[in-house]
Amino acid sequence: MTATPLRDRRSVAALIDHTLLKPEATSADVAALVAEARELGVLAVCVSPSALPLAGAEGLVVATVVGFPSGKVKSSVKAAEAAQAVADGADEVDMVIDVGAAREGDRAALEADVAAVRAAVPPPRVLKVIVESAALDDEQLATACAAAEAAGADFVKTSTGFHPAGGASAHAVEVMRATVGDRLGIKASGGIRTAEAALALLDAGATRLGLSASRAVLDGLPGA
C-alpha cells in the first residue's frame, strides 16, 4: 500500500525541528543532536541560545528559543536575546509570548511583544510565536494567534513542552488553523512521541513538528 502524502518517513522528516532544550544539556549532547539530525534527514535542529553558534550544522536549518520557557520577561529583553541569536547564526527564532497577557485577552500587549522580536529577526529569518495553547481556552488561543499574525510572525507554535498544562493537541491546532488560515505556518510541539500523534497533528493542520523523540516518531512511519 502506497503511503499518502506527508505520511511516509521522508516527507514527515522534512517537517521536523529536532529539538534539545533541556537545561542540563551538555555540548556533547548538542553535538549528538546535530549528528542524529543528519542521520534522520530532518529539516532543522532547535537548541538553546547558549549552544550557538552551532558547529557541524551546515545544511540544517538552525532554530533557537527566546523568552524561554516562561515568556515572562520584558519584550526588550526578548528582542535583545533574539538579536544575539541572529548574530550567532540562528535561521529561525521561536519566542514565547506573555501567556498571562493572552489569558487576559490583551491583544495590544501581545502584538507589541511579538513586534519587538520581529524587528530583531528580519526576513528571511523565520519567527515562530509560542502561544502555550494548553494554558488557553479557545478564545484566548485565537486572540494570541491573531495578534502574532498582525505583528508579522511566520508561524504560531503550540507549546514550549515545559508547561504543566501540557503540550500540543489536535484541537488546539485546529483552532490555530481556523484563525490564521493558510497565511502562517503552524508548529506543533510538546509531548509528541509517536507516529500516530504526529500524524494526527499534521491532519489537524500543523506544518512543522517540534520533536525530541524524532527517531521514535519516524520509526513508526513507512519508508526508508
Q: Using omega within 30 degrees of 0 as the cis cutoff, is the peptide bond preceding 5 cis?
A: no
| Residue of 17, 94, 98, 113 with catalytic role | 94
Residue 164, SS3? Answer: coil
Do 215 and 40 touch, CB atoms closer than 8 A?
Answer: yes
Q: Where are the beta strands (DSSP E) in the chain?
A: 16-20, 44-47, 61-66, 92-96, 126-130, 155-157, 185-189, 208-211
Is residue 157 part of the annotated active site? The answer reads yes
Is residue 78 part of the annotated active site? The answer reads no
Is residue 72 part of the annotated active site? The answer reads no
Task: Please give the backbone phi and psi of residue 220, each rounded to the nearest 5 degrees, phi first.
Answer: -90, 5
List residues with catalytic annotation: 94, 157, 187
